[in-house]
Amino acid sequence: MTWRIYLRHPQQRVSDKTVTDDRSVADLALRRLVYEHVGLHAAAVKTRDGQQEQYVRLDEGYRVCEKCRYRGPFVDGGETCPYCALVQ
């Protein structure tokens, strides 16, 4: 399996791309993109073998983490803080 993690900007431009065969590296790369780019008019995307697994808008859907007080979009269907990985 191959995961691709990247930022998708308007007009379908892509940046900050990571390609890996290691799922834990893919998960970490997605979380890092989300918390480092909160508020950007873009989305963090994770695909596996060409199929989209996660699409996280960075400029909406903000939540506040109970543990670390991170404020922004969460990953894993809106359940996991991308900064400390606490499932809420």
Taking only the tens place, the pLDDT of each residue in 32-88 is: 999 999 999 999 999 999 999 999 999 998 999 999 999 999 999 999 999 999 999
Main-chain phi, psi angles of 40, to 5 degrees: -70, 140
- Residue 50 inside a domain? The answer is yes
Question: pLDDT value at position 17?
Answer: 97
- Residue 87 inside a domain? The answer is no
Main-chain phi, psi angles of 36, to 5 degrees: -85, -15
- Residue 77 inside a domain? The answer is no
Of 44, 18, 35, 22, which Cα lies nearest the Cα of 82?
35
- Residue 41 inside a domain? The answer is yes
- Residue 84 inside a domain? The answer is no
Q: Specify the pTM.
A: 0.93
- Residue 86 inside a domain? The answer is no
The domain tally of the chain equals 1
- Residue 73 inside a domain? The answer is no
Structure tokens at 69: 């007080």
**Segment 16-35 mean pLDDT:** 97
Instruction: Compute the Cα dihedral for 57, 59, 64, 65 and give only its sign.
Output: positive
- Residue 33 inside a domain? The answer is yes
Domain around 27: 3-60
Structure tokens at 31: 């979380």
Taking only the tens place, the pLDDT of each residue in 28-39 is: 999 999 999 999
